[in-house]
Amino acid sequence: MSHSPESHAITPSIETIRIVVATDCGSTTTKAILVQEVDGVFRQTHRGEAPTTVEEPFADVTVGVTNSVTELQELSGRKLIADDGTIIRRTSPTDPDGCDIYISTSSAGGGLQMMVAGVVRQMTAESAKRAALGAGAIVMDTIASNDKRRPHEQIQRIRELRPDMVLLSGGTDGGDTKKVTELAELIAPAKPRPRFGGEYLLPIIFAGNKNAAPAIVKVFGQGGFDLSVVDNIRPTLEHEVLGPARDRIHDVFLEHVMAHAPGYDRLMSWSNAPIMPTPGAVGDILQTIARGRGINAVGVDIGGATTDVFSVFGPHFNRTVSANLGMSYSISNVCAEAGLPNVLRWVHLEAMDERELRNRVKNKMIRPTTIPQSLEALIFEQAVAREALRLAYIQHREFATSLKGVQQQRTVGDTFSQQQSGSSLVDNMKLDLLVASGGVLSHAPRMEQTAMLLIDSFEPEGFTELAKDSIFMMPHLGVLASVHPRAAMEVFERDCLIYLGTAIVPKGTGTWGKPCARYTITGIGGATLSATGTLVGGEMKLLRLGVGESARAEITPERGFDVGAGTGKPVTKVIRGGTVGVILDGRGRPLILPEDRTQCRKVMASWVDALEMYGAATGSTTHD
């Protein structure tokens, strides 16, 4: 039976959706999942994948999509692909073939690449960058009036870039129009060309001072550009409105970038919902979950070349891309930025020194796609991963700041500058859920390793649930949340997240070996855990509490330590178990390891033993 894709563009009513096919077209792999309603609850039932086919010789993204969905068809026994290669839709609730909706995300062909520009680097340019990153873009460069480059250098840079679109901002509503107009007059003559050839006009989104809009229209109206004007992202100094700019970025992504990428026009005609950039979809599902549960959450996706960090704290969502921090192509950048001694401090093996570390880095640079084949190689990669994650999180916390500040005019003709008195919106004591994804985290041989990597890198405080994305399903669920939020939530909780357990960490600095907190942890609802004791400085303890089990934890910190209620004040809380359990971390915050290499190796080995990271007590052989 032949099915025409054009007739499937309309999304059916939410009540009729029972079977969903979702794909994520990545840069190398297209991943497909089948979501079905089983006994009144939505579950992810099957998964397939195939190479992405956006490059030659295929140059048609739908080939990879069809191949990945064909694997779903074979695994599920449900016919999903029509004779003409399109995705079948059900004609009735009893139809044994097809799905109700097909949806997709994409980062193929390099994803969404943008240039942003703003009058003041620390103010409107930073707001523009936040809007672009939140929409799922890679920000190629930020042009600002005060970015210390001369006009001819800025023009040269604009000409070199091949962005998919440009976001221009500047000025508060009703304020000065001169500076943002000058910035437009810098961009227009430089004539930046779009990445996918010259057959369409480069989209420019203006989200600045509304009084400047007529002048901006005049500058870009000379030809060669497709200008959109949206609400100002900084209507006042203290107020940031990113929604309209983000929405327009998504629209332009579909209208221009996707429409001109190989095969995407066909894919868009198949899909029942707008195709979303992969990181934008991940951010959306994290926001959906955080707001649905009323919690603060941080998610991380560490790849071969980049590390994405997402955070939701109250109404604030932020995303950063650390483009030089990754586990294969960027591994040398991680080691250079962190320094080899910082990488080495996470290694508990006596045989590994800086020379050995340097050789391993060089080997990984030569063969970036290899995976560890020995325990030593695994420990090395996980040591590098800690530093990549730690540095990416530092960058994220510096970027995710409040908008407090003062405006001051320094000299005639000089620009306005904002004093960044704004504090970070990311507060580890208020962090409820920390989610890991990316190969080195998701595919670690033991869950204890993933948990330890998260705790060492992000340094959570108080009570924090730890989880990982089982098969990198978050992009699919992000786009599903846009058409069926309940289905996305149910699959996220039941099939996407693997709960590792709960970390309990007294914040403060004390003397190692001296008490920092007393604890009583008692299983509830059938859980058998019962533990009472004292946690001392520098110590880690693992208490097993299984998946689906809960316990009541009573933590009384010593003076100078805080677990959420203030220094020295006790906290009683119901905590969640997982594949690892409950981790008590008495190492203090900030986490400072001994500078002496021998001493550092010994304490690291004791933590490896305590968490059974590489099996029972493997670290003990390195103690003497």
Q: CATH code at 61? A: 3.30.420.40
Which pair of structure tokens corresponds to residue 48?
A: 């397939």
Judgement on whether residues 204 and 144 belong to the same structural domain of the protein: yes
Nearest CA to 436 out of 472, 396, 469, 390 is that of: 469
Q: Are residues 134 and 227 both part of a single domain?
A: yes
Residue 64 lies in a domain: yes
Query: Distance of CA 353 to CAs 377, 381, 592, 595, Å?
Result: 13, 14, 20, 15
Q: How far is CA 472 from CA 31, 141, 287, 302, 416, in A?
A: 9, 28, 16, 11, 43
- Selected residue with higher pLDDT from 622 and 475: 475
Write down the pLDDT at residue 616. 59
Identify the pLDDT of residue 105. 92
Given a cut of 90, is residue 1 above it in pLDDT?
Answer: no
Report whether pLDDT(591) > 60: yes
Residue 288 resides in a domain: no
- Min mean pLDDT across 53-67, 249-263, 332-346, 381-395 is at 249-263
| Residue where one domain finishes, among candidates 54, 88, 108 | 108
Provide the CATH number for the domain around residue 242.
3.40.50.2300
Q: What's the CA gap between 453 and 469, in Å, rounded?
A: 15
Question: How far apart (Å, rounded) are the C-alpha atoms in residues 426 and 319?
Answer: 11
Q: How far is CA 143 from the centre of its chain?
A: 24
Task: Please tell me whether residue 50 adopts helix, strand or coil conformation.
Answer: strand
Residue 168 reports pLDDT greater than 70: yes
Residue 483 forms part of a structural domain: no
In a domain, 20, yes or no: yes
Q: Which of 220, 239, 270 is the last residue of a domain?
A: 270
3-state secondary structure of 3: coil
Looking at the structure, do residues 32 and 75 belong to the same domain, yes or no? yes
Same domain, 117 and 99: no
pLDDT tens digits, one per residue of 547-562: 999 999 999 999 999 9
Q: Say whether both 154 and 259 belong to one domain.
A: yes
Number of domains in the chain: 2
Same domain, 152 and 254: yes
Find the mean pLDDT for residues 49-54.
88
Pair type for strands 530-536 and 550-557: unpaired
- pLDDT at position 411 is 38
Is the pLDDT confidence value at 3 over 80?
no
Task: List the Cα angle 570/545/309 in 5-degree steps.
Answer: 75
Which segment of 394-403, 406-415, 611-620 scores lowest on mean pLDDT?
A: 406-415
pLDDT of residue 519: 98
Please give the pLDDT value at position 322: 86
- The Cα–Cα gap between 436 and 450 comes to 8
Q: Which helix (H) or strand (E) holds 462?
A: strand 462-469
Inside any domain, residue 434: no
**What is the residue range of 38's domain?**
5-108
Residues recorded for the chain: 624
455 found inside a domain: no
Q: How far apart are CA 12 and CA 19, in angstroms?
A: 12
* 185 and 257, same domain (yes or no): yes
In a domain, 32, yes or no: yes
pLDDT digits (tens, 9 = 90+) for 85-143: 899 999 998 999 999 999 999 887 677 889 999 998 888 899 999 999 988 888 999 99
Give pLDDT, residue 238: 83
Query: Mean of the per-residue pLDDT values for the chain?
Result: 88
Strand (E) or helix (H) holding 313: strand 307-313
Do residues 137 and 163 lie in contact, with contact meaning Cβ atoms separated by under 8 Å? no
Q: What is the mean pLDDT of residues 428-433?
A: 97
Residue 43's beta-bridge partner residues? Answer: 36
Distance between CA atoms of residues 516 and 506, nearest Å: 7
Does residue 253 belong to any structural domain of this protein?
Answer: yes
No. of H helices and E strands in the chain?
Answer: 18, 24
Query: Is a pLDDT exceeding 60 seen at residue 5?
Result: no
Of the residues 80, 108, 136, the one at which a domain ends: 108
Assign 516 a pLDDT band (cuts: 50, 70, 90).
Answer: very high
280-324 pLDDT, tens digit per residue, is 999 999 999 999 899 999 999 998 888 999 999 999 999 998 878
For residue 299, the model assigns a pLDDT of 97
Tokens of 29: 């792999």
**What is the per-residue pLDDT across 448-498, written as a single tens digit (0 to 9) for each?**
999 999 999 999 999 999 999 988 899 999 999 999 999 999 999 999 999
One domain, residues 151 and 140: yes
Identify whether the C-beta of residue 111 lies closer than 8 Å to the C-beta of residue 140: no
Residue 171 DSSP class: S
For residues 98 and 130, membership in a common domain is answered with no
Confidence (pLDDT) at 198: 63
Question: CB pairs under 8 A, 24+ apart, for 426-429?
Answer: 426/298, 426/311, 426/313, 426/318, 426/396, 426/397, 426/400, 427/296, 427/313, 428/458, 428/459, 428/460, 428/461, 428/462, 428/464, 428/507, 428/589, 429/461, 429/462, 429/507, 429/562, 429/564
Query: Could you tell me if 217 and 255 lie in one domain?
Result: yes
Instruction: Kindly state whether residues 45 and 103 are assigned to the same domain.
Output: yes
Whole-number Cα distances in Å, 109 to 135, 264, 275, 329, 460: 17, 11, 14, 17, 36
pLDDT tens track for 59-101: 889 999 999 999 999 999 999 999 998 999 999 989 999 999 9
Q: What is the pLDDT of residues 183-211, one digit of tens each?
A: 999 999 998 888 776 667 899 999 999 99
- CB pairs under 8 A, 24+ apart, for 620-624? 622/348, 622/349, 622/350
Looking at residue 112, what is its pLDDT?
A: 85
How far is Cα 476 from Cα 284, in angstroms, rounded to an integer?
10
pLDDT tens per residue, range 208-254: 999 999 999 999 987 789 999 999 999 988 888 998 999 999 888 88
Whether 32 and 125 map to the same domain: the answer is no
- Asked if 607 and 617 touch (Cβ cutoff 8 Å), the reply is no
Tokens encoding 607? 């933590």
Return the pLDDT at 572: 98
Phi first, then psi, for residue 70 (nearest 5°) are: -60, -40
**Cα–Cα distance for residue pair 322/385, rounded to 1 Å:** 13
pLDDT attached to residue 54? 80
